[in-house]
Structure 1
């Protein structure tokens, strides 16, 4: 395993982390007696496999249903000095409610302390305020740190880059969990800000939110040769030293195998990545047009600035991926989550675009005249049955 310094925490973080949102039994709290033995055995085998290959960072959250409860049967059996354990708790208006939830997390994990506590889902200015204001959630965390129950505090986010950078600028956090992949590089500005503040950088769900790369379309497979799309994305992310670890979200012990192949390729990134990136770029230009591909994102409004709360940037991004790389399954899943994602995935789909006047909000876009028709086309291509977040299922 390769390890990187996790910012000012000084922890030696493995470049792959064992994320805890896919091996648990339920997305809701359940009594331990209701957890099937086979599920618990799979979870334990997954954790032990991770530690065996050097992935000693185990990451979970209070919002991941039975994950913490089930991990509490496994983690105390392992060598605590070798583990880096992280859980996450969502910020609350009432810091006492946040404290009660945090205590529940620690009780489930059955550890004397955790290494990393993430404020889970700082996706809006309001949620950031709940965390950092005087008397807010971070003051609760500081008390737990004084008691030796938490070592370092960070935050996770699915929010816009400006909100992420505002959170980083408070200098209140030791690390950040965020989205950044080959197909979504918008948050690079936040990663650079984290570097300036000497924060650890943890990439959320690169194989799922990075394009459902565990089930890639044949076109993407061909474009990424000689690597798999999953290995290409791992190598792309880790070729940037500002990135410290990628969460693998394993559901079973074998889910680590494809990722582990990348370790032997890291010193060849300068050789392997450019030809693949050039092919991906050229195919996108050939299918979408060079002007569109290079400028489509310019001057777009946020959902809050758009009639009908339509998430224009996300919808055009999904349409691009579907057309350029045949990433229809991924684009459809993300598109149909719009309207159900709350602050985790903002905005609405484009089914009402024909009834809305988008001209005022598109005045800064060089493609203002084309975008309404492209949004309608995206809805025809991608629209289907509404999708719920995993935690709602």
Structure 2
């Protein structure tokens, strides 16, 4: 999704990926010209090892439009068959209904019956109950979820999916996982002698996550992947575990008694404030020096459609409904007000709408 400057850039990224031992390439029509550039790069590839290619379709489209879009994907990629077709952003209940009972269900059945795709799955930025329902539906063979070192909420769902034989892909552990390719100095010091991104990758691989998306824009973005794939599964040595624990404890120490432990007992909020997610951004800002990332994410709230939260901390009325439910006795309304004051700023545009 990031190698979109031209075909040469994509060809260089693909070559570096193959040299790193990567064999799964994911793209989507929504990623601008990336899919067409990938098709051009694939047409020049002369390797003998098979590649696994995934592309995605946005939910909510009519059956005939979906058929036309899938044919367009295959044409751009120069393929007769797509290994994996994912619903791109199964984020709301109506998206799941479309995929299980509506035109989406017909589209997926048609694509499988025609032999145009090998298996179907979904990516989701949605709420935990929605993802759990999708995983339990029996419709999908794989899923792509936000699984991050600094956001471990969905990891139990991912591990349950793996136990059922599903494929699991972590969405953007480098970027959405905290802009870890450009970490703040405080976090780098806490993680020393390792880089934060390496620890984040190792953490997810050790948790059993079967694929990580790397979002490479240039060949050098895959240097770390090349080094890790050579290790053949030795993801967390004692020194890595010590560094992960040291970084986590440093954050907890800075936050002191105000750290939100992400138990979600505060929910539901009468004003639909996503309390745990907002306080997670506060944790990153104050605990790990990740203020730039926290501010970027906070200011996307209400501006990214169904891809992200729609209500920020200013919607807290101070009703106190959450207070007796918090097992850590956090002053949640006060913390939300502080979070808004610290993080609210001029918005930044998402890379993809």
1:360, distance to aligned residue in structure 2 (A): 3.3
1:287, distance to aligned residue in structure 2 (A): 1.3
1:323, distance to aligned residue in structure 2 (A): 0.5
1:129 counterpart residue number? 97
Report whether the alignment pairs 1:23 with 2:20.
no
Question: Once the two structures are superposed, what CA deviation does each residue of 1:275-332 show, in whole Å capped at 9, x if it has no partner?
Answer: 112212321221112x543645442225xx442x433221110011110110011101
Tell me if structure 2 keeps the 8 A contact 1:230–1:259.
no
Tell me if structure 1 keeps the 8 A contact 2:20–2:227.
no
Partner-residue secondary structure (3-state), 1:360: coil
User: Larger deviation: 211-220 or 365-374?
Assistant: 365-374
Report whether the alignment pairs 1:163 with 2:120.
no
Q: TM-score, normalised by structure 2?
A: 0.92
2:346 counterpart residue number? 385
Partner-residue secondary structure (3-state), 1:100: helix
Name the CA distance, whole Å, in 2 between partners of 1:295 and 1:206.
Answer: 20
Compared with structure 1, are the counterparts of its residues 259 and 222 closer, same or farther at alpha carbon in structure 2 (3 Å cutoff)? farther
Tell me if structure 1 keeps the 8 A contact 2:258–2:330.
no
Name the CA distance, whole Å, in 2 between partners of 1:362 and 1:64.
Answer: 42
Report whether the alignment pairs 1:271 with 2:238.
yes
**5+ residue gaps in structure 2?**
none
Name the CA distance, whole Å, in 2 between partners of 1:125 and 1:296.
Answer: 23
Tell me if structure 1 keeps the 8 A contact 2:260–2:279.
no
1:93, distance to aligned residue in structure 2 (A): 5.3
2:259 counterpart residue number? 293
- State the superposition RMSD in angstroms: 2.1
1:316 counterpart residue number? 279
Partner-residue secondary structure (3-state), 1:185: coil
Compared with structure 1, are the counterparts of its residues 103 and 80 closer, same or farther at alpha carbon in structure 2 (3 Å cutoff)? farther
Report whether the alignment pairs 1:94 with 2:55.
no
User: Larger deviation: 247-256 or 193-202?
Assistant: 193-202
1:372 counterpart residue number? 333
Name the CA distance, whole Å, in 1 between partners of 2:230 and 2:63.
Answer: 46
2:291 counterpart residue number? 328
Name the CA distance, whole Å, in 2 between partners of 1:194 and 1:301.
Answer: 25
Name the CA distance, whole Å, in 2 between partners of 1:107 and 1:259.
Answer: 30
Compared with structure 1, are the counterparts of its residues 295 and 239 closer, same or farther at alpha carbon in structure 2 (3 Å cutoff)? closer
Name the CA distance, whole Å, in 2 between partners of 1:230 and 1:276.
Answer: 12
Matches within 5 A, 1:104-183: 104-133=72-101, 135-183=102-150
Q: TM-score, normalised by structure 1?
A: 0.83
Compared with structure 1, are the counterparts of its residues 167 and 298 closer, same or farther at alpha carbon in structure 2 (3 Å cutoff)? closer
Partner-residue secondary structure (3-state), 2:216: coil
Name the CA distance, whole Å, in 2 between partners of 1:81 and 1:326.
Answer: 43
Tell me if structure 2 keeps the 8 A contact 1:124–1:159.
yes
